[in-house]
Structure 1
Amino acid sequence: MRRIVITGASSGIGAALAQRFLASGDEVIAISRRPAVAGTRWIGADLADADQIAAAAAAVGDAPLDALIHVAGIWEKEAFGEGYDFALSPVTETQTVLAVNLTAPILLTQALIAPLSRSADRPGGRVVFVGSTSGLDNIGLPEVAYNASKAGLRAAAQAMAVALAGRGIRITMINPDDVATDPAGSGPRLTVPDLCTAIEMVLALSPETVVSEMTLFPAPV
């Protein structure tokens, strides 16, 4: 039985992941503002608040962790639509998007280094960051805070891969394109099951293999 922490496990991708791991017999610790799916050990926390992140990490405990999966993410209120205007984006909105999408994964990973680290009887855990193709170079989208947060997360993951390698912690950055979490959307999109399968594949690899980065696109129609 693996011990896995997932952020954002109250809905969408995080909830689907939690259900898969629970079905496999894993212990799933869910960190989110709203109650997570049944069967998880839920730790309530607002990831925009550094004190609540620290409290959530303390609640996870010191027992060894096999994986930490950062799924929680938010974006500007009018993002990805005609109503978005960077000039009108409130300061508080920008700060919150950066706090949840970038600062929180950094702080939570740092706080959980000890339970993720290699020991005499275990190889160390994996940290998976779910980013976005919005964080890639020259993506051509105007959502400033969201794009900056995902690009920053990608850079943070690359730096952590170096900083934590000596502790046996393996880092993976996954950049999915648009994911079909909203049934009202249209056009080619990744399915939630396919994204979950990609994450499961990373966790199923032997400790001798690291997937540093993976970018997923829907097949053209």
Structure 2
Amino acid sequence: MKTYLVFGASKGLGDAFVRGVPEQGDKVWVVSRSKPESLDLNDGINRIWIQADLSELNAAARVTDKLANETVDVLIYNVGIWEREGFEEHYTFDKDEPADISRLIHVNITSAIVCIQAVLPHIRQSAVGKIILIGSTAGLNNSNSTQVSFVASKFAIRGITEALREHTRKDGIAVTCINPGELAAEIPYEEGSERALAAYNGTRIPLQDMVALVKCVVSLSKAACVKEINIPALTDLNT
């Protein structure tokens, strides 16, 4: 049995991790601002909600207060916001507001560092501790994205992963960064991969593929460490 801590878990990819990665008998601490529907599942997995707004400086303390002395085997950090209308054709960096840029950097970078730092003592208690950070292909070289702040934050996630891996090597904690391309995140996990493939004509990655990747990483022995996985959509030839 394993204990998971999943950040950003109320919907989309985070919700898919909460539903699809753990197995019967496992425990999942679910960190999100709004109450997730996954708490209502009756599948032999114990899910406990920690309400926290990761844009607030006290979010890490709220998480550790709830965890108390709990051992965490797997931390999945899946948090990321982007520029307003950042994925619209008319978006332009010229109109990004300084306050919005500051909030994005805080949520995507500062919160990741502070929250992981806060829960490290809980992961060190595990015999097979693993940390998985979800980045983006936007954080890879030559991604062709014009979202300056979002791209910077996803490059930062990769940097956090690199340094954190060295910091926790002596503790036997493996740290992995997974960089997905466009996901079919609007299709609920429970509706299945075929529904996601049909909805976008196979141009977006079903959430089930991400769940399968994470389950693989989690299943590895403590002798192995997957450093980084890049998973663009097959039709995205730029990454």
Q: TM-score, normalised by structure 1?
A: 0.92
Deviation above 4 Å: which 4+ runs of structure 1?
A: 183-187
Give identity over the alignment, percent.
Answer: 30
> In structure 1, what is the equivalent of residue 124 of structure 2?
117
Change (3 A) 1:17 1:76: same
CA distance in 1, matches of 2:70, 2:124: 11
Could you tell me which of 128, 131, 134 is aligned with 1:127?
131
Extract unaligned runs of 5+ from structure 1: none
Count of residue pairs the alignment pairs up: 218
Change (3 A) 1:6 1:78: same
* 1:124 Cα deviation after fit: 4.0
CA distance in 2, matches of 1:81, 1:210: 37
Change (3 A) 1:190 1:52: same
Alignment of 1:11-160 (within 5 A): 11-36=11-36, 37-38=38-39, 40-117=47-124, 122-160=126-164
Letter in 2 for 1:132: S
Q: TM-score, normalised by structure 2?
A: 0.85
> In structure 1, what is the equivalent of residue 223 of structure 2?
208
SS in 2 for 1:164: helix
Letter in 2 for 1:145: S
* 1:84 Cα deviation after fit: 1.3
CA distance in 2, matches of 1:31, 1:180: 22
Extract unaligned runs of 5+ from structure 2: 42-46, 188-198
SS in 2 for 1:50: coil
Letter in 2 for 1:45: A
Letter in 2 for 1:140: N
CA distance in 1, matches of 2:235, 2:157: 27
Change (3 A) 1:171 1:96: same
